[in-house]
Amino acid sequence: MVESARQRRTLWGVATLRTLRAHWALAELGLAYETRPVRSRSGETQTPEYLSRVNPRGKIPVLVEDGVCIAESGAILNYLADRYGGDRGFAPRPGTPERAIHDQWCFFAATELDATSLYILRRHDDLKEIYGAAPVATQSAREYYDRQVRVVAEALADGRPHLLGDTMSAADIMMTSVLDWARSCEIELPEPLVNYRARHRERPAYRTATEANAPPSPG
């Protein structure tokens, strides 16, 4: 069972916080897979073969299962949760109010905290040689992140261990990754988020995924 699963499940992408999300979900669910250690900005995501066979958008991570290529880290997590989460409740059942709240946190992390805030910082500060410097935009992105992340701190203020309460879900992977990313940009987090982040980083699956996401660099 594990061997056949290994043959048909491949994750493309390592070494970024977005690829970590997919490695972490696979580790939480105990799923066997092969890793293709493709890195961002290495040229490997832009080859004709990658663009035609894996992801025409030229991005990682991509999960390939049963010949289907699934891009977008949030979509990969929700797919894995629905297909393999079972009774464990890695995402609540689709069509329930609980699932709507779960998806709300996933989209919030992916759009407001990742794409609208942290990715602006990354592109127009760290990678300004490629994307151009934009100091006003990056300052405003920092302020926006601070404002938006406060809502997450408020949601955790009742002492719940995870976003949905007692059960860890895919939404916690999305959220922890954007907190990790913020800390790598030296953004201070409110106290409930410091504890929340530490709790999730202590999970064995987080550690397994961190190792899988950091294979030795080629050459």
Ligand X SMILES: N[C@@H](CCC(=O)N[C@@H](CS)C(=O)NCC(=O)O)C(=O)O
Indicate the length of the chain as a whole number: 219
Sign of the dihedral through C-alpha 175, 216, 28, 5: positive
At its nearest, how many Å lie between ligand X and the CB of residue 59? 4
* Residue among 137 and 194 whose Cβ is closer to ligand X: 137
From 11, 16, 120, 175, residue interacting with ligand X (rule: CB under 6 A):
16
At its nearest, how many Å lie between ligand X and the CB of residue 124? 14
Q: Dump strand ranges (E) for 4-117.
A: 9-12, 34-36, 62-65, 68-71
Region 92-111 residues binding ligand X, contact defined as CB under 6 A: 110
DSSP state of 199: H
For residue 112, state whether it binds ligand X (rule: CB under 6 A).
Answer: no
At its nearest, how many Å lie between ligand X and the CB of residue 111? 9
Region 58-87 residues binding ligand X, contact defined as CB under 6 A: 58-61, 72-73
Are 29 and 209 contacting, i.e. CB atoms less than 8 angstroms apart?
Answer: no
The region of 56-64, 135-143, 153-161, 165-173 touching ligand X under the rule CB under 6 A is 56-64
Are 12 and 54 contacting, i.e. CB atoms less than 8 angstroms apart?
Answer: yes
Determine how many CB atoms are found less than 10 A away from the CB of residue 81.
26
The region of 23-31, 55-63, 95-103, 135-143 touching ligand X under the rule CB under 6 A is 55-63
At its nearest, how many Å lie between ligand X and the CB of residue 160? 25
195 burial type by CB count under 10 A (0-12 exposed, 13-18 middle, 19+ buried) = middle
Binding site for ligand X (CB under 6 A): 16, 18, 40-41, 45, 58-61, 72-73, 110
